[in-house]
Amino acid sequence: MGKVGVLLYNGFQEMEFWYPVLRLREIGADVVVIGAEGGEAATSVLGYPVVPNVAMSQTQAGDYAALVIPGGDVARLGENGAFRAFLRDAAAGRVRIAAASQAAGFAPDALVAKTTDEVPQWTRQLIEELSR
């Protein structure tokens, strides 16, 4: 299946982050939480902190079979040039990108969950694709 990176940033939406992380781990995927803003804890829209496994600056997009980008307060994330470069590298390397709600605009060819309600089906579809 390969490694799956899940992007973490200040203002991430909890369910759009945790649902794919837990489901992917449940099936034995090597899930790596990538701190888009560094190696420090990021805080969700409701104020819950999560510490990434690795800072985005310390990993490469091509190391992953897929990248998951949860929605949330993405305004500052969109202004992050290193994040945009990371996604460009992922797309160039044919890494599957799955983006939820507000994050969908970051990757035009992404597997998209338009709303949080679509996250279970979106995660199942990603799992099916990675299992092929």
Kindly list the structural domains of the chain, giving each domain's residue range(s) and its CATH number in brackets, ordered by start: 3-131 (3.40.50.880)
| Segment 61-74 mean pLDDT | 97
- Predicted pLDDT of residue 100: 97
79 exposed, middle or buried (CB, 10 Å; 0-12, 13-18, 19+)? exposed
Q: Could you give the CA distance from residue 62 to residue 87 in angstroms, rounded to a whole number?
A: 10
What are the pLDDT digits (tens) for 12-62?
999 999 999 999 999 999 999 999 999 999 999 999 999 999 999 999 999
State pTM to two decimals: 0.97
